[in-house]
Structure 1
Amino acid sequence: MKKSFIFLLTAIILLSCQSTKKLACNIESVASPKGTDVFQPNWDNIAENYKFPDWFVDGKFGIFIHWGPYSVPAFNNEWYARHMYLKDHKVYKHHIETWGPQEKFGYKDFIPLFKAEKFNVKEWVEVFKKSGAKYVVPVAEHHDGFSMYNSDLNEWNSVKMGPKKDIIGALKKELEKEGLVFGLSTHKAENAWFFNGGMDFPSDVQDTTLSLYGRRYKNEKYTDNFAREWLTHTYELINKYKPKLIWFDWTVNNCVLMPYFNKFMAYYYNNALDWGEGVVVNTKQGYPTNIQVWDMERGKSGKMMQFPWQTDTSVGKKSWAYVDGEVNKTPEQIVHDLIDIVSKNGNLLLNIGPRADGTITEEQKSILLSIGKWLEVNGDAIYGTRCWKKFGEGDANPTKGTFSDNKATAYTARDIRFTTKGNDFYAIALNWDKNELLITSLDKETIADAEILSVSLLGSKEQIKWTKTDKGLKLSFPKNKPCDYAYSFKITFNKKVGEHLRSEATNEVMKYRE
């Protein structure tokens, strides 16, 4: 009896150790559930086998969510956790004046105040669905190190503390129930150094037993030991939640992290094969644009890109998370940006910042619903479309590049963006004109061999008059506007007009491969 008990106990311990090793200790040997090994951790292999999934290429529009303990102080921006430990920063001074010195009230002390008592996942998802978004990406863990999910590896999580709920799990369940694609973001890499300012003066960051505050590295320097920790935590998210998209911030391009990131991609893509799903990885720089989706923060590309790409930006101009006194963009600006991005082979990931109690502000909710109303009318010109040989025409000079989109561009009806779907060609005018629209890109030479079967304006039943001219295709505007912000003319040809010639991506991320 005693020997049997010892044998049974030993077997349990061994199984437990093997399970732990699979996730944490021996990460190099972790395989996907069915043992798929199509993808290997090198860029040539991944490029040969990876395909951008249709749900992403067709979906065009997603919602990003920044929500966590940083929503409690609701001051300045979502980097409150770092700035409160940087001497002479305005957040440092604000924190002392409002909450007390950092050695007595540290960032960890916001967690019990982050209760999410009014969080209603059904209401959130209903708003997201009405906005016209096709995928949703909540932040699973921000730079602050607090996990918004049921983590076995991080005790500082929303199930054990704060809301006492698996926020990521709840969102996944409801989103998939409503037919939206579930993704997530993880900023674990940035946590390693995020709180290092608190080591320069008396603060709770100097209590190294508090794992919330990460490694406290100076600047963005990493070690292999941390890289293994990062990879283990990322595997946990894949194994527990099966997201179809994982978004990363900028430091995953670090030379120490990069080999581990390649292992992550191989593991994630192999798992996706076993799930029978197409998945997407987002990074800002450092990785080829044909093995993952290049993401540009708060800005747009100035040209078409060869491979699908994405803009991530926020409704709020000041912060990604909720802050008092936020200034929000207008629905018109966001719709214009969406159209411009889609015409260049991109997607828009638009962020909102809920309050600490779990409510979405009425202004941000109204903006999302206004975007949804526009997409109800014009969705055919956005969803499932592809680029033409040029993205558009016009006089305006829109902003481009990162951190450039807070200022709206003033467009006229001469500013037009193009999308295509089969034999349908969409010319989206970014303003209204009572008279006519001349599309110079569709001159007689360009469409000489193509017969126009019909011309209409999405959302309008009025007849659209059209004429082929040497200068371009001339269209009439109807008497009544079918919607606000922008207007989509649908031109159906008897065959495709030109080839989908996308320009090659020449952005800086490619240099990291050399």
Structure 2
Amino acid sequence: MKKYIYLIFTLVLCASCQSIDKRSYNIDSVASPQGTEVFQPDWKNIAENYRFPEWFADAKFGIFIHWGVYSVPAYDNEWYSRNMYQEGHHAYKHHIATWGAHDKFGYKDFIPLFKAEKFNAEEWVKLFKEAGAKYVVPVAEHHDGFSMYDSDLNEWNAVNMGPKKDIIGLLKKATEKEGLIFGLSTHRAENAWFYNGGMRFPSDVQDTTISLYGRRYDNEKYTEDFAREWLTHTYELIDKYEPKLIWFDWTVNNPILMPYFNKFMAYYYNNSLDWGENVVVNTKQGYPTDVQVWDVERGKSGKMMQFPWQTDTSVGKKSWSYIDGEENKSPEQIVHDLIDIVSKNGNLLLNIGPRADGTITDEQKEVLLSIGKWLKINGEAIYGTRCWKKFGEGNTEPTKGSFTDNTATAYTAQDMRFTTKGNDFYAVILNWSDNGILIKSLDKEAIADARILDISLLGSDEKINWKQTDEGLKIFFPEKKPCEYAYSFKISFDKKVGEHLKSEAVNEVMKHGA
């Protein structure tokens, strides 16, 4: 009987959702509003026409922002909106104890409490710029279905209720004012099934007139009808905000959604031609790495990649959004991860979680400012660089793969990562040594055709002593440390030394993991 009632609710809900207002978005076409249709929704066509942006390859470091209605309860993590409706889950029990029964106080009832009264987009972006970030990616809509932007298609948005502000529009304006690149993420695909637990016991989710709660499908189930709705909302974000990067969570690789995602890519890339901009799409799995940027959640690739890729991770270890009792990573751990990622042809997208009122915690501010302090000295070895023919040396095995980066790796001075820029080679040493270091990869044979003109340590005015040996290049540290966490030696040659790895079997990583 319980399953029968659930089925009836689902059928009624699906019928009510099919009347979505498509406005002027023609999702049967991938042509831009100006009629550009160079890109078509197939991977071969996209791979032949798409070029990874230089700005993305140069930027290396961006800021992700998880901020929304889920920041009000500030409990467990950003999945509170789902877990509060999962019977037996500790978030379910917490909700009843703190806020009351689900049919009296549901997730929608947090919206009036999400006032964002202290939100200041310009202050945020100035902080991100001080941290050394080159692009900013706020969440435009999370799994909870609440749009943080001025949506014509979703009445549950931050302009109509809650903050009564176009959060995404304000962040775009502030980001571009500071000369940074603006992107956004949309997680609307997961909204289709995110609240389905609330259909199994008395809750406000059973009120099918509340479109915030999506389709209430079984876990990760999709229909063509929903796929069309999803694509319409995604077209709206492109047309209204012209983001230079759009990030997606995992279920866009679903077989039902995939053809519509291919349409999205073609439409987005066609629009970018009209804008005169190169853009980036991020997905986690399921799509070729030559048509969009592969993203690794809370982890890293274990090898150098042929095409640009990205790690998305958070300052906080427990949650992407603000929660009480968060434990934050140290600046040293994040800087070490950034260096390792960049040496393997990747970027780091680092998340922060502001409070519901729009303030950022002092702890997360301090982490960002500490990273910025390191980058002010060592940024030359990071920004605008390209990887060498190998990513580095050392015996310490770093973490790799998704969901592996909460524990810091204890590097030694024998652990180093390489980057290049023109005729300059950067060896970033991941710990200090009073005895100097030996770069085995730069032995006499490896650089036989090039001559070292100078070696310096970024941030230091002291003369650096070095000598070339058959075993490698021996470099001695100066007396004073110029910074904390890692130390960047700049080795200037009279010509380029080696080339970027071009033959990495990227598909093997996609098949077998990073």
TM range (shorter): over 0.9
Measured in 2, the distance between the counterparts of 1:319 and 1:41 equals 35
| 1:148–1:158 contact (8 Å) kept in structure 2 | yes
Matches within 5 A, 1:288-299: 288-299=288-299
Give the direction of change, closer, same or farther, for the CA distance of 1:461–1:508 in structure 2 (3 Å limit).
closer
Structure 2 equivalent of residue 358 of structure 1? 358
- Is contact 2:30-2:40 (8 Å) kept? no
Distance in 2 separating the partners of 1:152 and 1:34: 21
What amino acid does structure 1 have at the position aligned with 2:129?
K
The residue identity in structure 2 corresponding to 1:265 is M
Q: Give the structure 1 partner of residue 397 of structure 2.
A: 397
Partner of 1:29: 29
For the residues of structure 2 that align with 1:407 and 1:274, how far apart are their CA atoms?
Answer: 44
Write the distance in 1 (CA, Å) between the matches of 2:151 and 2:324. Answer: 30
Partner of 2:490 in structure 1?
Answer: 490
1:62-461 equivalence runs, <5 A: 62-461=62-461
Question: Shift of residue 21 of structure 1?
Answer: 5.6
Partner of 1:9: none
- Structure 2 alignment gaps of length 5 or more: 1-20
Query: What is the distance in 2 between the residues matched to 1:481 and 1:310?
Result: 30
Equivalence for 1:479: 479
- 1:23-42 deviation digits (Å, cap 9, x = unpaired): 34x41135312211110000
How many Å separate the matches in 1 of 2:510 and 2:220? 19
Aligned-pair CA distance for 1:434: 1.3
Is the contact between residue 30 and residue 270 of structure 2 (CA under 8 Å) also seen in structure 1? no
Per the TM alignment, residue 122 of structure 1 is displaced from its structure 2 partner at its CA by: 1.3
AA partner of residue 498 (structure 2): G
Aligned to 1:14: none
Distance, in Å, in 2 between the alignment partners of 1:194 and 1:348 is: 28
SS at match of 1:350: strand
Q: Distance in 2 between matches of 1:408 and 1:401?
A: 14
Check conservation: 1:298, 1:312, Cα contact below 8 A: yes
The 1:432/1:51 distance shift into structure 2, 3 A limit, reads same
Whether the 8 Å CA contact 2:30–2:263 is kept in 1: the answer is no
Provide the rounded CA distance (Å) in 2 between the counterparts of 1:64 and 1:91.
25
Report how far residue 52 of structure 1 moved.
0.5
Partner-residue secondary structure (3-state), 2:192? helix
**Higher alpha-carbon deviation: 81-90 or 434-443:** 434-443
Contact 1:393 1:417 in 2 (8 A): yes
**Counterpart position of 1:15:** none
% identical equivalent positions: 78
Q: Deviations over 1:91-127 (max 9, x none)?
A: 0000000000111000000000000000011110110
SS at match of 1:367: helix
Q: Amino acid of the residue matched to residue 168 of structure 1? A: I
Q: Secondary structure at the match of 1:23?
A: coil
Distance 1:118 1:194 in 2: 29
In structure 1, distance between residues paired with 2:36 and 2:63? 31
Which deviations, in whole Å up to 9, do the C-alpha atoms of 1:393-418 show, x marking residues without a partner? Answer: 01111111100000000001100000
* Superposition RMSD in Å: 1.1
| Cα distance between partner residues in 1 of 2:204 and 2:182 | 36
> Aligned equivalents of 1:71 and 1:21: distance in 2?
30
Any conservation in 1 of the 2:30–2:37 contact (CA below 8 Å)?
A: no
AA matched with 1:282: N
The aligned amino acid for 1:39 is F
* Helix, strand or coil at the partner of 1:29: coil
Distance 2:256 2:47 in 1: 22
Q: What letter corresponds to residue 103 of structure 2 in structure 1?
A: E
Tell me what 2:8 maps to.
none
User: Aligned partners of 1:44, 1:51: CA distance in 2, in Å?
Assistant: 13
TM-score (norm 1): 0.94
Retained in 2: the 8 A contact 1:62–1:135? yes
**CA-CA distance at 1:22 after TM superposition:** 6.4
TM-score scaled to structure 2, two decimals? Answer: 0.94
Please report how far the alpha carbon of residue 498 of structure 1 lies from its aligned counterpart in structure 2 after TM superposition: 1.1
Distance 1:89 1:101 in 2: 14
CA contact (8 A) 1:289 1:510 kept: no
Is 1:504 the counterpart of 2:505? The answer is yes
- Please give the per-residue CA displacement for 1:226-260, whole angstroms capped at 9, x wherever unaligned: 00000000000000000000000000000000000
Structure 1 residue 510: deviation in Å?
Answer: 6.2
Contact persistence 2:64–2:136 (CA under 8 A):
yes
Unaligned runs of 5+ in 1: 1-19
SS in 2 for 1:193: coil
Determine if contact 1:85/1:195 at 8 Å carries over to the other structure.
yes
d(CA) in 2 for partners of 1:262 and 1:120? 36
Is the Cα–Cα contact under 8 Å of residues 436 and 475 in structure 1 kept in the other structure? yes
2:11 corresponds to: none
Give, as a single letter, the amino acid of the residue that structure 2 aligns with 1:314: S
Deviation readout 1:270-293 (Å, 9 max, x if unpaired): 000000001000000000000000
**Pairwise CA distance, 1:504:** 2.5
CA distances 1:138-181 after superposition (whole Å, capped 9, x unpaired): 00000000000000000000000000000000000010011000
Q: Distance in 1 between matches of 2:133 and 2:123?
A: 15
- Asked if the contact 2:388–2:420 (Cα under 8 Å) also holds between the matched residues in 1, the reply is yes
**Alignment length, in residue pairs?**
491
Secondary structure of the equivalent of 1:506?
Answer: helix
Q: CA deviation at 1:352?
A: 0.1
**Change in 2 beyond 3 A, CA 1:90/1:507:** farther
Contact 1:22 1:30 in 2 (8 A): no
**Residue identity matched to 1:495:** K
How many angstroms apart in 2 are the aligned matches of 1:498 and 1:313?
31
- SS of aligned partner of 1:111: helix
Opposite residue 187 of structure 1, the aligned amino acid is H
Partner AA of 1:276 in structure 2 = G
| Contact 1:442–1:472 (8 Å) recurs in 2 | yes
